[in-house]
Every structure is written in structure tokens, then in C-alpha cells.
Structure 1
């Protein structure tokens, strides 16, 4: 699997998404420092919210294959400026979290991530599991076998399908 670093504001769902990607039980845990897991780097939201700490995020991207910018569907604004992904030397994907929140607006968050330059953009709910397999499929490398398939299925050629957002 490709290694992904998750970045975003405090409480946008980075740690919860990390737990969902690992198949763990979802529980609240405040991230206080950079956490390295097998294929996920979880970062504190304060690093994205504070210019003095943001430099650390730039350094940690060198340890990842993919950068994931998270934006909650409940956010009233976006931290990310237009075309910010152009200054990254890794593929940058967008992840709209909390899509099942009753006060959320996933389309607005999707548009902000598209404006920032993220491609593709995934819509996820860590609690229902919606969108999680699409991220895992994106991070998959040849020969990786995901938990829901057998080794024979992993070796078959794949047909790429897209949903209305252009992501699997």
C-alpha cells in the first residue's frame, strides 16, 4: 500500500479516518503529535492551523507517497488556498469527511478541495464505512490483497469505474 499523510483542521476527522482505514473500533483520541502507522501518517490539526507549525507538515510529506487534504462537510470555510497542491511534489487527494452529518454540505467541501487542486476527491463517513474502500483501493499497489478479497481476485485485471465525483 502507498503511505498517505492526512492533513486538516482540528476535529475534521483525520484520526477517526485513520481508525476506519485500519479497521479499528472508532473512538475519540486527540492527536497531540505526528503518529506513524504502517500506511498512514496522522497529524495534529494545529499543524495545519498554525503557520509556524505548518513547516513540519512539509517535512513529513517526504515520508509519504500521497498527501490527503481533509475537509469536513460541516466546515464553514476552507483552510486551503486555491491551487495549493501545486507546491507539493506528491499526488494530493481530497477527502470530504463527515458526509453523513445532518448539518453538513459535502458538495461545498468537494468544491473547495477541487479549487485547492485535489484530484481525486473522496467522500467518506468513517462511522458508516462509506467511501473507505475507495481510498484503500486508491492506495493499493500491484500485489496488495485487501481484506475483502481473495488472492485470486487481487491478481485479476480490473475495470475502472467512476462515480459522479470521478473517484472510485
Structure 2
């Protein structure tokens, strides 16, 4: 799987998305430092909100294959300036989180991420699982076997060996 760094404001859903991508139980965890997991780098929102800490995001992005800019569908403004993806030498995707919230404005969040220059935008709900599989499929590399790629023994083709002598 490609390694992805999650960048976004505090409480936009980065850690919750990480838990959903891993199939873990969703529970609140405050990210206080940069966490390396096998294919996800989870970052504190304060790093994206504070220009003096943002330098760390630039450095850690070099350890990833994909940069993911997250924005909640409930946010009243975008943290990201237009065309910001041009400063990154990695593919940048956008992820709209909390699409199941009652006050979600998904179209506005998608528009904000499109303005940044994201090459692909995903809409997800970490609680319902909507859109999570699409992200996993995007991160999949040749040779990776994802849970839905596994077939049950009944579905696998069987090699039939003839006992008949020729």
C-alpha cells in the first residue's frame, strides 16, 4: 500500500479516518505528535493551523507517497489557500470527512479542495464506512491483497486431477 500523510485542522477527522481505514473501533484520541503507522502518518491539527509548526508537515510529507488534505463537511472556512498543492512534490488528494453530519455542506468542502489543486477528492464517513473503501482501493499497489479481494474457499477455482490412466 502507498503510504499516506493526513493533514488538516484539529477535529476534522484525521485520526478517526485512520481508525476506519485500519478497521479499528472508532474512539476519540487526541493526536499530540506525529504518529507513524504502517501506511498512515497521522498529524496533529495544530501543525496545519500554525505556520511555525507547518514546516514539520513538509518534512514528514517526504516520508509518504501520497499527501491527503482533509476538510470536514461541517467547517465554515477552508484552511488551505488556492493552488497550494503546487508546492508539494507528491500526489495530493482531498478527503471530505463527516459527510453524514446533519449540517454537512459536502459541495462547499469539495469546491474548497478542488481550489487547492487536489488531483482526486474522496467523500467519506468514518462512522458509516462510506467512501473508506475507495481510499483503500486508491492506495492499493500491485500485489496488495485487500479484504474484499480475498475469496472464500468455495469461490476459489479447484484444480481437478484426473485419476484416469492415459
User: Shared topology, TM-score over 0.5?
Assistant: yes
Unpaired segments ≥5 residues, structure 1:
153-168
Deviation at 1:148, TM superposition (A): 1.7
Partner of 1:63: 63
Cα separation, 2, equivalents of 1:147 and 1:12:
27
Q: Equivalent residue for 1:94?
A: 94
Please identify runs of 4+ aligned residues in structure 1 that moved more than 2 A. Answer: none
Cα offset, 1:151, TM superposition = 6.8
CA contact (8 A) 1:145 1:151 kept: no
Output the TM-score relative to the length of structure 2.
0.90
C-alpha deviation, 1:150, in angstroms = 1.8
Q: Aligned partners of 1:131, 1:27: CA distance in 2, in Å?
A: 19
**C-alpha RMSD over aligned residues:** 1.0
Partner of 1:48: 48
Query: How far apart are the structure 1 equivalents of 2:88 and 2:122?
Result: 19
Give the Cα separation in 1 of the matches to 2:77 and 2:119.
20
Matched position secondary structure for 1:52: coil
Structure 2 regions of 5+ residues with no counterpart?
153-166
Query: How many angstroms apart in 1 are the aligned matches of 2:83 and 2:134?
Result: 24
3-state SS, counterpart of residue 62 of structure 2 = helix
Corresponding residue pairs, total: 152
